[in-house]
Amino acid sequence: MSFTSILADAVAKIKSGYLRRERYVYIRRSNFLIQILKVLYENKVIVSFFIVDQDSICVFLKYRAGQPFLLELSLVSKPGWKKYLPLDKLLKAAKCNTSSGFYVISTDLGIMTSMDAKFLTKKISGKILLKVLF
């Protein structure tokens, strides 16, 4: 299974967990997803996550006044269509959002947010994985 389909499955489970008002969801374990969950946790988008066993991760979802914290969690790069942008265009696209949010990108320096990439001295580009609005 490719990384993108693992990510698409995890995004779908998190979104359906919010729709059903669940406190937590279980997703398939992979090192790629653990890196993305670390970024989401560091940006306070999820409450926490922990590795249950060799096959699954438990993700605790965040709510604000009984409503889902996330307004949008969407997959930007899909298995048949990968979206790459240089940093300057990525930051311009991030400023166009009306809500607070960021992109999760995969670079040669690892998985990071578009805002983290803004503060790097080295100009980078990357594959946009997720769009996160809250």
Final residue in a domain of this structure, among 23, 44, 67: 67
Asked if 98 and 112 sit in the same domain, the reply is: yes
Residue found under tokens 């965040």: 62
What are the tens digits of pLDDT across the range 52-77?
999 999 999 999 998 999 888 999 87
Side-chain-side CA neighbours of residue 67 (13 Å): 5
| CATH number of the CATH domain containing 83 | 3.30.1490.10
Kindly state whether residues 21 and 77 are assigned to the same domain.
no
Cβ neighbours of residue 79 closer than 8 Å, sequence gap 6 or more:
2, 4, 5, 8
- If one counts the domains in the chain, the total is 2
Pair 63, 77 in one domain? no
| pTM for the model | 0.85
Domain of 107, in residue numbers: 72-133
**pLDDT value of position 125:** 72
Can you give the CATH number for the domain in which 59 is found? 3.30.1370.30
- Same-domain status, 82 and 122: yes
**How confident is the prediction for the chain on average, in pLDDT?**
84
14, 6, 48: which is closest to 31 by C-alpha? 6
62 lies in the same domain as 76: no
User: Same domain, yes or no, for 84 and 62?
Assistant: no
Considering 16, 39, 67, which residue would you say is the last residue of a domain? 67
In this structure, are 63 and 95 located in the same domain? no
Say whether both 52 and 108 belong to one domain: no
> What is the percent of the chain with per-residue pLDDT over 70, rounded to a whole number?
80
**Domain stop point among 13, 46, 67:** 67
